[in-house]
């Protein structure tokens, strides 16, 4: 596999403290095709990235949500000729070393999409987070009839054909469930690969709250009813 065919897509929202480190760690691991979409941040992340790196960068003039930013990043990557697309978070909780095994699995297993799972590896996961995620797993099963060991994990690897088919419609955090739902609807071949998640005070402060999770569930259910 030619690494120049791999595009890393990063939605950026008020993560100026971490983003340069994240980009550097990706570069250090050989990934140079990086698409960063600043989602109307109020900090100077966009300028920092633009002035200090060579990545492809653009910004949403107003905040539209992580799902919307990812979709923009994917469209740019596809337009640039990407063959493989990686979803990666900007807060430094993902490990760039996890990308290669995911890509290998994707290609060797002829999968459409490979999802990262923090529960397949020994990860120190805070209790509150653990409960929330297990609830999410159950919800995903009930909602999309797809049983996973982890949901709402931001690291994913897919082919560009899959990315085109996914076409994320949910602008905010519901996009993570939307992707799983579409895997089922579009009958995509998927699997999970163990990944590391680094929990820091910083990444925890940016994570999902319980009330937010309820909100996500509500939005998903109401959109399904409208269909």
Q: Quickly count: other Cβ atoms within 10 Å of residue 141's Cβ.
A: 14
> Is the Cβ of residue 60 or residue 118 nearer to another protein in the bound state?
60
Helix (H, G, I), strand (E, B) or coil at 67: helix
**Closer of 63 and 95 to another protein (Cβ):** 63
Question: Does 58 participate in binding another protein (rule CB under 8 A)?
Answer: yes
Give the x/- contact pattern for another protein in 132-171, rule: CB under 8 A. Answer: -------------------------------------x-x
**CA–CA gap between residue 155 and residue 35 (Å, rounded):** 15
Interacting positions 65-84 with another protein (CB under 8 A): 68, 71-72, 75-76, 79
Asked if 47 touches another protein (CB under 8 A), the answer is no
Asked if 43 is part of the footprint of another protein (rule: CB under 8 A), the reply reads no
In the chain, alpha helices (H): 19-28, 45-52, 66-79, 99-108, 127-144, 160-166, 175-185, 201-206, 210-226
Q: Quick one: 37 or 176, whose CB is closer to another protein?
A: 37
Question: Shortest gap between Cβ of 4 and another protein (angstroms)?
Answer: 19
Q: Are 149 and 188 in contact (CB under 8 A)?
A: no
Contact between 175 and another protein (CB under 8 A)? no
For residue 162, CA distances in Å to 53, 68, 79, 107, 190 come to 28, 17, 14, 13, 11
In the numeric block, which tokens belong to residue 174? 């519901």
Contact status: 182 vs another protein (CB under 8 A): no
Contact indicator for 10, 34 with CB cutoff of 8 Å: yes
- Which of 45, 64, 183, 195 binds another protein (CB under 8 A)? It is 64
- What minimum distance in Å lies between the beta carbon of 79 and another protein? 8
Using CB under 8 A, count the residues that bind another protein.
19
Spatial contact of 173 and 208, defined as CB atoms under 8 Å apart? yes
Question: Which residues are at the interface with another protein (CB under 8 A)?
Answer: 37, 50, 56-62, 64, 68, 71-72, 75-76, 79, 169, 171, 226
């Amino acid at each position: 596999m030619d690494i120049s065919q791999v595009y890393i897509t990063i939605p950026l929202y008020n993560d100026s403290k971490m983003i340069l480190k994240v980009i550097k760690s990706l570069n250090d691991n050989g990934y140079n095709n990086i698409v960063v979409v600043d989602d109307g941040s109020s900090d100077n992340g966009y300028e920092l990235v633009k002035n200090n790196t060579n990545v492809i960068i653009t910004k949403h003039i107003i905040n539209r949500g992580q799902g919307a930013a990812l979709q923009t990043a994917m469209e740019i990557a596809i337009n640039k000729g990407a063959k493989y697309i990686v979803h990666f978070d900007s807060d430094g909780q993902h490990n760039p070393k996890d990308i290669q095994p995911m890509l290998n699995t994707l290609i060797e297993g002829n999968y459409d999409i490979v999802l990262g799972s923090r529960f397949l590896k020994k990860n120190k996961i805070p209790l509150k987070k653990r409960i929330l995620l297990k609830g999410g797993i159950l919800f995903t099963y009930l909602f999309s009839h797809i049983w996973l060991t982890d949901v709402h994990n931001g690291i994913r690897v897919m082919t560009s054909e899959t990315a085109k088919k996914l076409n994320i419609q949910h602008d905010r955090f519901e996009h993570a469930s939307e992707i799983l739902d579409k895997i089922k609807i579009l009958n995509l071949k998927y699997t999970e690969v163990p990944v590391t998640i680094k929990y820091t005070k910083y990444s925890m402060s940016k994570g999902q709250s319980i009330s937010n999770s309820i909100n996500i569930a509500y939005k998903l259910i109401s959109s399904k009813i409208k269909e």
